[in-house]
Amino acid sequence: MEQNYFHSVTLDESLCKGCTVCIKGCPTEAIRVQKGRAWITAERCIDCGECIRTCPSGAKKAISDPLSLLEKFDINIAIPAPTLYGQFSSGISCNRILTALKGIGFDDVYEVAAAAEILSRETRNWLKIQKEKKPQISSSCPVVVRLIESRFPSLLDQVVPMISPMELSARIVREKYKNSSARVGVFFISPCAAKVTDIKTPRGIESSSVDAVLGIKDIYKELSQAVGHVETEESLSIANSIGVSWARTDGEGSAVYSENHISVDGIDHVIDVLENLENGHIRNVDFVEMMSCPGGCVGGPLSVENPYIARNIISSRERVLQQAAEEKPVELPEGICLFWTEELESRTTHRLDPDYRKAMQMMEEMERIQASLPGLDCGACGAPTCKALAEDIVRGKTTETDCVFMLREKIRDLTREMIELESRMPPGLDR
């Protein structure tokens, strides 16, 4: 299990007011408010960015790598997520955006949308041979993979064991430059905070071929200026509509052409569907696309444009691409493996204790404590629910008096005791 819990999603203490808005929305109950500020439990965080969306003070941030990293390499290659195309109005061509990337310091580009097209095809083939473990669950959203590891480990064997379009793009770039002695830097241009974490602690593969992840929002200003300054658009774009569609919900789902697929977006919906998958209620479906962000990657925390507008732009680009002459399929260069080499691990971040008997005792205690709490889930204690507070108490992280109601009761008991004591006289005076 990883020792190093790096996370892109972090808290800016100086901005946190200690309100409790974020704790309720966290799908893994990873946040607590204590000592006037929020604390994110690293083992539980899956980098979904929900807290970034809900924090009223803007104290939750997604860290990505700085553009200055380009200096570390001799040749810099940008691999932009399909979502980048949703950040500029559809009148600005993909070629123009890619040329602008070269304008801000990159030597070359490879579109992640192109890799997505290859993976759509390969996933389609994979589904054909998967008769047993149905439905297969997409592994392209790193948040979903981490969520399954920690909350739905019984579904791990249904996750499609294929690398992501980002990873494939990086491998294609590496293959192209494999005989070069220059230091080649591969930079993912990302709407996604989880990908920042994913390249440092990847799943399914030993190490990532991506060197750094640049948030779209962090380079947006420079990039849009460069877009304005492009004089001649280079013909750089090879992506087709299928790959571009991966930016939005149901892009991947439709692209794998499964007879029967469902596409789910938004973390709450994802959780709901995972529950149903675990219960066996979802039958007769062979593929499930799952995207943690609302609307798909266009809703990613590092994107700039409103997700609904971005989605509309993506759709109109898809239409244009479909209408343009014939779409030339993107080829997979030889020698690149698309499959995972490492197994996913069940991450028992919610387990009370490794010893089952001990865990059982703790649970009994938890039930007892929970029954004594008011059940209002008010959040004043800094835990998302009364149940979560009960859990924190049995884990030894805090005490019952964190609950304002329990505290009041304690004070009342003490007061009663004091009044009682006050009425007593020293024996010598007591007649």
Partner 1 sequence: MNFEYTVSGDDYSLAGRASSDIKKKLKQLGIPATVIKKTAISMYEAEINMVIHADGGIIKVTLDPRHIRIILKDTGPGIPDLELAMQEGWSTASEEARELGFGAGMGLMNIQRNSDGLHIDTVVGEGTTVTIVLNMED
- The three-point CA angle 136-139-143 to 5° equals 130
User: Whole-angstrom Cα distance, residue 309 to residue 123?
Assistant: 29
Considering only 59, 143, 168, 386, the residue that binds ligand SF4 (CB under 6 A) is 143
The smaller minimum CB distance to partner 1, of residues 56 and 354, is found at 354
The smaller minimum CB distance to ligand SF4, of residues 184 and 290, is found at 290
141 is an interface residue for ligand SF4 by CB under 6 A = yes
User: Whole-angstrom Cα distance, residue 210 to residue 152?
Assistant: 28
166 is an interface residue for ligand SF4 by CB under 6 A = no
Residues 192-221 touching ligand SF4, rule: CB under 6 A, are: 192, 194
CB of 244 to partner 1, least distance (A): 33
| Burial (0-12, 13-18, 19+ Cβ within 10 Å), 208 | buried
| Residue 106 identity | F
Picked from partner 1, ligand SF4, none, the partner binding residue 281 (CB below 5 to 8 A depending on kind) is partner 1
How many chain residues are in contact with ligand SF4, going by CB under 6 A? 12
Using CB under 8 A, which of the segments 45-53, 78-86, 249-257, 344-352 binds partner 1? 344-352
Residues 6+ apart with CB under 8 A from 101: 78, 80, 109, 189, 223, 226
Considering only 133, 183, 319, 350, the residue that binds partner 1 (CB under 8 A) is 350
Picked from partner 1, ligand SF4, none, the partner binding residue 275 (CB below 5 to 8 A depending on kind) is partner 1
The smaller minimum CB distance to partner 1, of residues 150 and 190, is found at 150
| Residue 128 identity | K
The smaller minimum CB distance to ligand SF4, of residues 42 and 380, is found at 42
Considering only 225, 348, 399, 415, the residue that binds partner 1 (CB under 8 A) is 348
Picked from partner 1, ligand SF4, none, the partner binding residue 42 (CB below 5 to 8 A depending on kind) is none
Considering only 63, 69, 320, 359, the residue that binds partner 1 (CB under 8 A) is 359
User: Whole-angstrom Cα distance, residue 155 to residue 134?
Assistant: 10
Considering only 280, 335, 396, 428, the residue that binds partner 1 (CB under 8 A) is 280
Pick the closest to residue 239 from 121, 95, 103 (CA basis): 95
261-265 and 287-291 strand pairing: parallel
377 is an interface residue for partner 1 by CB under 8 A = no
Picked from ligand SF4, partner 1, none, the partner binding residue 260 (CB below 5 to 8 A depending on kind) is none
CB of 137 closer than 8 Å to CB of 286 = no
CB of 51 to ligand SF4, least distance (A): 13
Picked from ligand SF4, partner 1, none, the partner binding residue 293 (CB below 5 to 8 A depending on kind) is ligand SF4
| Burial (0-12, 13-18, 19+ Cβ within 10 Å), 1 | exposed
The smaller minimum CB distance to partner 1, of residues 19 and 156, is found at 156
Residues 27-66 touching partner 1, rule: CB under 8 A, are: none
Considering only 292, 315, 370, 385, the residue that binds ligand SF4 (CB under 6 A) is 292
- Per-residue binding string, ligand SF4, 341-360, x by CB under 6 A, is --------------------
351 is an interface residue for partner 1 by CB under 8 A = yes
**Residues binding ligand SF4 (CB under 6 A):** 141-143, 191-192, 194, 291-293, 296-297, 300
